[in-house]
Amino acid sequence: MGKVAMVLLVLFLVVVVQLVHGHVDEDNWLEMGKEKVTHLHFYFHDTVSGKNPSAVRVAQAADSDKSLTLFGVVMMADDPLTEGPEPSSKLVGRAQGLYGSAAHEEFGLIMAMSFGFTDGMYNGSTLCILGRNSASHPVREMPIVGGTSVFRLARGIAVAKIYWYNATTGDAIVEYNVTAIHY
């Protein structure tokens, strides 16, 4: 099968699956209603150590390990989002995506993350973050650049604050306060 035919087949299957599962309603998928503001509070658990890390190094530059900021390291994450700071707290979603060390002078990350929610009225909805995370600062802001389902066409701000950090392992728990404007 040729490349073009394969791409068309995959696109066709994606549309069929979405229609079957009700994710796309042909008559009103763009009817958004009134704009809303939602405030969320949760904890992001980034575990890079141990036998079952939630974030792993997938790429690095030749000199990344010589850099104090690990410049050039790229991590892929599937981090739990919980209601409280304890790892055993109720799971409300997962942060899936990547982040990379993008600064020479301070520990600054570039983040491309999708926060997928799995609980309550936000189940199946996502918020997407894309931007700089000045991880060495105690409090930092990152832009929300989109969302799906309940958070369709979201924009807003995610304020992150370190709750706990282990300098030896690199593991962290980060408190998030999110304000999303959406339809």
Helix, strand or coil, per DSSP, at residue 13: helix
Query: Whole-angstrom Cα distance, residue 40 to residue 178?
Result: 5
In whole angstroms, what separates CA 150 from the centre of its chain?
Answer: 16
pLDDT of amino acid 94: 98
pLDDT of amino acid 1: 52
pLDDT of amino acid 180: 98
pLDDT of amino acid 21: 47
**Mean pLDDT for each consecutive 10-residue tract of the chain (183 residues)?**
49 45 51 88 98 97 94 98 98 98 94 98 98 94 97 97 96 98 95
pLDDT of amino acid 32: 67
Tell me which residue has tokens 């304890």: 86
pLDDT of amino acid 7: 44
Query: Whole-angstrom Cα distance, residue 23 to residue 37?
Result: 22
pLDDT of amino acid 45: 98
Please provide the DSSP assignment of 56-70 as one string.
EEEE--TTGGGSTT-
Domain 32-182: CATH superfamily, name plus number: Allene oxide cyclase-like (2.40.480.10)
Question: Domains of the chain: which residue ranges?
Answer: 1-29, 32-182
**Residue of 58, 34, 54 whose CA lies nearest to 44:** 54
pLDDT of amino acid 33: 82
Query: Whole-angstrom Cα distance, residue 31 to residue 173?
Result: 38
pTM: 0.82
